[in-house]
Amino acid sequence: MTVPKISLRGVTKSFGPKQVLRGIDLDVATGESVVVIGGSGTGKSVLLKCILGLMEPDAGSIKIDGEETTRLGDAERNRVMRKFGMLFQGGALFDSLRVWQNVAFGPIQSDGMAPARAREVAIEKLANVGLGPDIAELFPSELSGGMQKRVALARAIAREPEIIFFDEPTTGLDPIMADVINELVVKCVSALGATAVSITHDMASARKIGHRIAMLYDGKLIWQGPVGEIDHCGNPHVEQFIHGRAEGPIQMQVRKL
């Protein structure tokens, strides 16, 4: 059996008395795209940040290419980080830098590429996400939300990572732009042959970009399976979520006014 690209076993994370992750087991094969769905505040972002190494889990094991990555030193962490690309929810573009400098940031600062060459790479990556060279000199604040997302995607793929993480790629976009982003995500991931892990609560997006879906509820993955099976999985929690019903086993913690 081949080693999974990403392998999580018994990952837990708490903030004070609040247990956010209560033992996550997940395997992602090379070239596979897994989408983690779940309601707001269920710990999807925490899970992603633990895999990325931006947060240290309290317990459990996270292996990338079979290598344990929890409790790594700074230099080791940077080496593993080199395999990753990340699309942040709000884009997280550096607002003091121009668009091309954002995209070229990884190649220039971390890989030591010459700025002139990196600029060409940046413009090529921008073209990959459907943006022309005319916006390269603009600042991120001068772009619309959808364009910012695309620039952020270009930055995430600029170093040709082996694994790409997507944090709610369609949040805050209109349905058409959301679909444009979904298609770009699928295109970029398959062009790089990368492994992808996404988190979202947008079912249309999950169906489009995922090969496999896992649902996070109450700190655990309560269901995992291929995208095609989600509509008849027989799990009441999953069914409530994908149909977006207020009534069901998942009780939103809403205080009475």
Partner 1 sequence: MTIPVITQLGRMVLALMATIGAVSAFAGRAVQQTVRPPYFKAQIARQMLEIGYYSLPVVGLTAIFTGMVLALQSYTGFARFSAESAIPNVVVVSLTRELGPVLAGLMVAGRVGAAMAAEIGTMRVTEQIDALKTLSTDPFKYLVAPRLIAGVVTLPMLVLIADIIGVLGGYLVGVYKLDFNDATYLRNTIEFLQFQDVFSGLVKAAVFGFLITLMGCYHGYTSRGGAQGVGLATTNAVVSASILILTANYFITEAFFAR
> Which residues of the shown chain bind partner 1 in the complex (CB under 8 A)?
49, 52-54, 74, 78, 81-82, 84-86, 88-90, 92-95, 105-106, 109-110, 155, 159
Supply angle C-alpha 239, 242, 244, rounded to 5: 100
Which residue number, 36 or 215, has a Cβ lying nearer to partner 1?
36
DSSP string, 96-151: TS-HHHHHTHIIIIIT---HHHHHHHHHHHHHHTT--GGGTTS-GGGS-HHHHHHH
CB of 109 to partner 1, least distance (A): 5
Which residue number, 5 or 49, has a Cβ lying nearer to partner 1?
49
CB of 250 to partner 1, least distance (A): 26
CB of 79 to partner 1, least distance (A): 8
CB of 216 to partner 1, least distance (A): 20
List 15's β-bridge partners, or say none: 18
Which residue number, 105 or 241, has a Cβ lying nearer to partner 1?
105
Which residue number, 36 or 221, has a Cβ lying nearer to partner 1?
36
> Residue 225, class by beta-carbon neighbours within 10 Å (0-12 exposed, 13-18 middle, 19+ buried)?
middle
- The distance from CA 214 to its chain's CA centroid, rounded to whole angstroms, is 14
d(CA 142, CA 153): 17
d(CA 158, CA 127): 12
Which residue number, 53 or 215, has a Cβ lying nearer to partner 1?
53
How do 33-37 and 220-226 pair as beta strands? Answer: unpaired
CB of 2 to partner 1, least distance (A): 26
d(CA 89, CA 246): 25
224, 62, 35, 30: CA torsion to nearest 10: -100
CB of 72 to partner 1, least distance (A): 13
Which residue number, 26 or 156, has a Cβ lying nearer to partner 1?
156
